[in-house]
Amino acid sequence: MNLRVRATMSIVGAFLLLPALSGPVRAVTAGDVVESTPTTVYLAPGKLLEVPVNAWHLRYRSTSATGASNIVSGTLLVPKSSYLGRRPIAGYAVGTHGLGDQCAPSASMANGTEAELALMSLMLLKGWAVAVTDYEGLGTPGEHTYMAGVSQGHAVLDSIRAAARVPEANLSSDAPVLVMGYSQGGSSAAWAAQLQPSYAPELRLRGVAAGGVPADLQAVADHLDGTADFGLAAAAGIGFDAAYPELHLSSYLTPQGAALFADAADDCVADLRSKFAGHRLSDYTTSDVMHRPDWQTRLTENRLGASSPRVPMFLYHAKGDEIIPYAVGRTLRDEYCARGVNVLWTGVPAGSHVLGAVEGGPLAVAWLASRLLGLPAIGNC
């Protein structure tokens, strides 16, 4: 279903009333499982090195950035080993994969090309179930609302709800819950933390680890303009236009820009980078799009730090991050601290954005494990 059609559907909180094909009106809830299909996950291309877990490809109900009901896909991974007590559920939010359905983590896990399985495996080895959302429009009909943080936060929280509603997985709705993500996933994890008190208060969230967080999309876009990674900013423009129909990005594109942006709308991250490398938004637009009042309103809505998570946060950022400035992560830390959030901030010595995930990921998993053990969450605000 196209996003612009979905946006006309009203929702109150996390609940939506839909007419059944016959009979009385039935209530459906965000997190409800629409479809659950057993799948196999691989660590290497060519369907080599099968991951020894029980896995399901899911389609579940969630909520868009504008409050409309939607359906999101994802993958649930559950260790085959037994677990003493209620098995924890970790919502894992992946970093940027691209805009086309073929880029979705569900697809890459089934094909053996998902690099972030290395970090998910650290969770699986601890016996945790791992719910991995594909995000809105990535793996399901419609456009991927890339970097619309509100939508991404909903998708993460609802993937955890859905995990507990897969009967064969034997997970409990009272299970302790953790959330982790880096880059786009770091934004999604932080949004899940901010939204959880009002959107999913029943989840027993113990802690959230968010790394390389693009908390201020305006600042990140300004930084990426004209760089080798400008394609990520262009993709965010496409994603915002998909999330918020009133933005009308196409109205401000030159003919060259319209052709290039349309061509990029189903690209994965490598193609996005190569097509836009070294260019600026002004090369493809007829006006200063991002500073228009309607764009500024939506960018402000999706800027992290304006509300307070109620659980401890582990924020980490590579000191040499060339994509998301270190200062953007520091600012989010300062704003959370000013709001009284229990934050542990770590600047990892990595010299690049990708290495920040490699070096910081194991630290994040260890910190999350300590939340399950009930150890004191010591912040450094």
Quote the CA–CA distance of 96 and 287 in Å, as a whole number. 27
Confidence check: pLDDT of 24 > 70: no
List, in sequence order, every residue forming a beta bridge with 91; answer none if it has no partner.
131, 179
| Cβ pair 301, 152 in contact under 8 A | no
Q: What is the pLDDT of residue 235?
A: 97
Quote the CA–CA distance of 101 and 134 in Å, as a whole number. 9
Q: Looking at residues 292-308, what average pLDDT do you find?
A: 96
pTM of the complete model: 0.92
Q: What is the pLDDT of residue 48?
A: 85
Quote the CA–CA distance of 315 and 295 in Å, as a whole number. 27
Q: What is the pLDDT of residue 46?
A: 87
pLDDT tens figures, 271-282: 999 999 999 999
Q: What is the pLDDT of residue 15?
A: 32
Domains of the chain: 3-216+303-372 (3.40.50.1820), 217-300 (1.10.260.130)
Burial of 201 per CB tally in 10 Å (0-12, 13-18, 19+): exposed
pLDDT tens figures, 233-276: 999 999 999 999 999 999 999 999 999 999 999 999 999 999 99
As a whole number, the mean pLDDT across the chain is: 92
Confidence check: pLDDT of 358 > 90: yes
Q: Looking at residues 319-346, what average pLDDT do you find?
A: 98
Confidence check: pLDDT of 118 > 90: yes
Across the chain, where does the E strand assignment appear?
Answer: 15-18, 26-29, 33-39, 42-44, 48-50, 53-63, 69-79, 89-93, 129-133, 176-182, 204-211, 313-318, 343-348
Burial of 358 per CB tally in 10 Å (0-12, 13-18, 19+): middle
pLDDT tens figures, 301-313: 999 999 999 999 9
pLDDT tens figures, 165-217: 999 999 999 999 999 999 999 999 999 999 999 999 999 999 999 999 999 99
| Cβ pair 78, 53 in contact under 8 A | yes
| pLDDT-derived band at 7, boundaries 50, 70, 90 | very low
Task: List the one residue out of 181, 136, 204 whose CA is nearest residue 304.
Answer: 181
Task: List the one residue out of 207, 204, 209, 208 whose CA is nearest residue 86.
Answer: 204
Least confident window among 15-24, 26-35, 131-140, 347-356: 15-24
Q: What is the pLDDT of residue 102?
A: 96
